[in-house]
Amino acid sequence: MSKAKTGKYTNFWERNKKSGGYLLRRTVMQYGVSICRAVLLFGLCFLILQPLLNKISVSFMTEGDLYDPIVTSIPLHFTTQNYRLAGGLMEYGTTLLHSLIIAVTVSLIQVSMCTLVGYGFARFQFPLKKFWFACVMAVVLIPPQVISTSLNLHFRFFDVLGIIELVSGSTLNLKSSVVPYYLMSFGCMGLKNGLYIFMIRQFFRNLPKELEEAAYVDGCGTLRTFIRIMLPDAKPILTSCFLFAFVWQWTDGFYSSMFLGNISLLSIKLKQLPDTFGAYLARVSGLGSSAGVSVPYSNCMLATGTLMVIMPLVVLYLFAQKGFVESLSSTGIKM
């Protein structure tokens, strides 16, 4: 019946007339909303992408183009000289390798430790559980800057209950070596590790309990159940945590400059790039260090360096985008 009725009024205006003008109003409204939304979203996306695009265009300019008032975004003299220079100044090859090794190992350790802890919090009942979980929240809340002073001294004069001093006669100076940061990663105290514990715990809590119970009944131990049954299920959250840990470690300046000062990492090299560039120019031109570098040129170098540092991350993001976004929303963060 109703089908025949709508079939009769195939023309849009007839249908509009029949509905008393409602159809037209609704359609106009719909298109209006989607046009507004498109404009707004385009603007916001442009806002976010613009610095990146600017950097790309600047990085291909020669020094002359930078001073040319006519040139704003498209380089007049196309050149890849900047990349070669920045790469040379940052010792890109070795630095990239160091950064990669550090970021991968650190984030692997952090994620595996946080998984153990998160699983422990999600699936076991033990005395003082609430207290320890409050400690996890405290780790999330306390900025590492508060304890940075004494961590510094702690690793400068490192000792385990006075044993090392007893054996070798003096304390160990672990500052500016990799060991402290690995130790902290093993203790789940690295960059934003409280957050990972929280996310992983949230994920494990949502998995069905029956899986584990079946394994226990079949005579599986807790550790074996964890490795054989629970870990394969937790792949999405683990990849997501690993990706976050990797990326944040890659760009981190705080822990890196505190503990890893002697190892050349991209984030540190990038910070020093304007200075090294100034020194390089002074050396090349034969003038003293007082000669000074033109600000636009050194900034152009910095933009090129930044692009080179974030390039691996952009590639990673393009391939593993789902890992970043989807699994974070699947944990269902609640408080």
Partner 1 sequence: MKRQKNKLAGLQRRKAISGYLFIMPFIIGFLAFMVKPFCQSLYMSFCDVQLGAMTFKPVWNGLFNYNYAFRVDPEYTRLLTEELSRMAIYSVSIMVFSFFVALILNQKFHGRALVRSIFFLPVILASGVMLKLDSENSLMNAVAQTVELNAQGTTGITDAIQNILRTSGVGVRAFEELFEVIDNIYDVAISSGIQIIIFLSGLQTISPSMYEAADIEGCTKWESLWKITFPMVSSLFLVNWIYTVIDFCMRSDNEIIEKITNLMNINLNYGYASAMSWAYFLLVMLIVGASTFIISKGVYYYE
Site residues for partner 1, 103-142, by CB under 8 A, read: 113, 116-117, 119-121, 123-127, 129, 132, 135-136, 138-142
Is 151 an interacting residue with respect to partner 1 (CB under 8 A)? yes
Half-sphere exposure of 314 (CA within 13 A, CB side): 8
77 CB-near residues (< 8 Å, 6+ apart): 61, 62, 64, 65
Taking CB under 8 A as the criterion, the residue among 51, 64, 88, 93 binding partner 1 is 51
Is 240 within 8 Å of 327 (Cβ atoms)? yes
Nearer residue to partner 1 within complex by CB, 52 or 85? 52
Nearer residue to partner 1 within complex by CB, 15 or 123? 123
Q: How far is the CB of 182 from partner 1 (least distance, A)?
A: 12
Nearer residue to partner 1 within complex by CB, 2 or 149? 149
Taking CB under 8 A as the criterion, the residue among 102, 174, 184, 215 binding partner 1 is 184
The footprint of partner 1 on this chain (CB under 8 A) covers a number of residues equal to 100
SS3 for 160?
A: coil
Cα dihedral angle (248, 251, 256, 261), rounded to 10 degrees? 160
Is 150 an interacting residue with respect to partner 1 (CB under 8 A)? yes
Is 333 an interacting residue with respect to partner 1 (CB under 8 A)? yes
Q: How far is the CB of 189 from partner 1 (least distance, A)?
A: 4
Q: Tell me which residues in 157-176 interact with partner 1 (CB under 8 A).
A: 157, 170-171
105 CB-near residues (< 8 Å, 6+ apart): 182
Taking CB under 8 A as the criterion, the residue among 41, 56, 211, 315 binding partner 1 is 41
Report the alpha-carbon distance of residue 232 to residue 160 in Å, rounded. Answer: 37
Is 267 an interacting residue with respect to partner 1 (CB under 8 A)? yes
Is 143 an interacting residue with respect to partner 1 (CB under 8 A)? yes
Report the alpha-carbon distance of residue 314 to residue 49 in Å, rounded. Answer: 12
Nearer residue to partner 1 within complex by CB, 11 or 150? 150
CA angle 273, 274, 277 (to 5 degrees): 80
Taking CB under 8 A as the criterion, the residue among 62, 79, 105, 299 binding partner 1 is 299
* Cα end-to-end span (Å), the chain: 52
Q: How far is the CB of 221 from partner 1 (least distance, A)?
A: 8
The pattern of x and - marking residues 19 through 38 that bind partner 1 according to CB under 8 A reads ---------------x--xx
Nearer residue to partner 1 within complex by CB, 12 or 67? 67
Selection from 100, 147, 165, 158 nearest residue 258 by Cα: 147
Alpha helices in the chain (DSSP H): 2-8, 12-18, 22-59, 63-67, 81-90, 92-123, 129-141, 144-156, 163-168, 179-186, 193-205, 210-217, 222-225, 231-233, 235-251, 254-259, 266-285, 295-319, 321-330
Q: Tell me which residues in 60-79 interact with partner 1 (CB under 8 A).
A: 66, 72-73
Please identify, among the stretches 82-90, 92-100, 183-191, 285-293, the one whose residues bind partner 1 according to the rule CB under 8 A: 183-191
Please identify, among the stretches 4-12, 230-238, 284-292, 305-313, the one whose residues bind partner 1 according to the rule CB under 8 A: 305-313
Q: How far is the CB of 80 from partner 1 (least distance, A)?
A: 19
Report the alpha-carbon distance of residue 245 to residue 320 in Å, rounded. Answer: 14
For residue 158, what are the β-bridge partners?
172
Is 182 an interacting residue with respect to partner 1 (CB under 8 A)? no
Nearer residue to partner 1 within complex by CB, 13 or 132? 132
